[in-house]
Amino acid sequence: MSQLESEAMESEFGTVAGWTEEAVRALGPEYAVPAGCRGSGSEAALRWLADRMALTARSRVLDDGAGVGGPAGWLAAERGVRAVCAEPMPEGARAAHRLFGLPSVVAPAQHLPFAAASFDAAWCLGVLCTTSDKAGALAELHRVLRDGGRLGLLVFVADRPLPPPLPEGNEFPTEPELLDLLGAAGFRLAETATADLGDSAPEWSRRAGAVEDEIVRRHGDDPRWSEAQEQSGRVGRLLADGALRAWLGIAVEVARPA
């Protein structure tokens, strides 16, 4: 294990990210966004966030923990905003660059290679629950956002004790814990909502499914595929049970007193 907090997550966000890029190349570019949204597989959630991040075509935007770049690709296509992608898994960062032509760096959220106040806005989707150092990630987001910059978040929050089996390496905060972390990092919460991750258009779901089928055809007998499927299946079951909730939030960077 090298970058992430479990080997299962490395399969899910590393190996499968590379396989996703390969499958999209085989099927066509129109498959890239639906297949590339790995935590935020809902266009309505992306729209909700983007509508509230005060974006213009000239905004400097960071996608923190961008995965293979589906959400950033969506933002470029739908809003004409080209985000910079940061992602710790090289396979993901490479895919974001190759599939969407976006600038992409290999970096964990806790060590972003950007100067202070480099961005007007950022989003961080399905990432805080994959790292135990949430405070470190939020501190970095605070540092790289300008004063008053907006942060869009998708976080899977635990509404009650989670029944096993749990996805390996994930740490889901409760909503009060998340709000405390945001406040301590210097963010003011502006608005929240709950995402329905099952509300995508049929064509979006069909394309995401076709990419998955192509990965199975090529790599379905690789144990890392089963491992990754088990991980995402566990998150799916917790969401379906109502133990986890897909929390959306807009937070505003507040200048810290000197």
Q: Which of 16, 33, 37, 157 binds ligand SAM (CB under 6 A)?
A: 37
In the complex, the smallest distance separating the C-beta of residue 197 from ligand SAM, rounded to whole angstroms, is 10
Select 104 or 131, whichever has its Cβ closest to ligand SAM: 131
Residue 65 in contact with ligand SAM, rule: CB under 6 A: yes
Residue 15 in contact with ligand SAM, rule: CB under 6 A: no
**Token pair belonging to 242:** 């109502």
Residue 73 in contact with ligand SAM, rule: CB under 6 A: no
Residue 173 in contact with ligand SAM, rule: CB under 6 A: no
Residue 152 in contact with ligand SAM, rule: CB under 6 A: no
Q: Which of 73, 108, 152, 167 binds ligand SAM (CB under 6 A)?
A: 108
- Please, are residues 40 and 125 in contact by the beta-carbon 8 Å criterion? yes
Binding flags for ligand SAM, 78-107, as an x/- string (CB under 6 A): ---------xxx--x---------------
Neighbours of 224 (CB within 10 A): 17
Q: Which of 11, 130, 170, 231 binds ligand SAM (CB under 6 A)?
A: 130
Residue 127 in contact with ligand SAM, rule: CB under 6 A: yes
Tell me the three state secondary structure of residue 191. Answer: strand
Residue 70 in contact with ligand SAM, rule: CB under 6 A: yes
User: Which DSSP string do the residues of 17-57 spell out, in sequence order?
Assistant: HHHHHHHHHHH-GGGHHHHH-SS---HHHHHHHHHTTT--T
To 5 degrees, how large is the angle CA 154–CA 160–CA 166? 75
Select 35 or 255, whichever has its Cβ closest to ligand SAM: 35
Tell me the three state secondary structure of residue 119. Answer: strand
Which residue(s) pair with 155 in the sheet?
Answer: 247
- d(C-alpha 13, C-alpha 16), whole Å: 6
Radius of gyration of the chain (CA): 17
User: Would you tell me which residues interact with ligand SAM (CB under 6 A)?
Assistant: 4, 13, 37-40, 65-67, 70-71, 87-89, 92, 108-110, 125-127, 130-131, 137
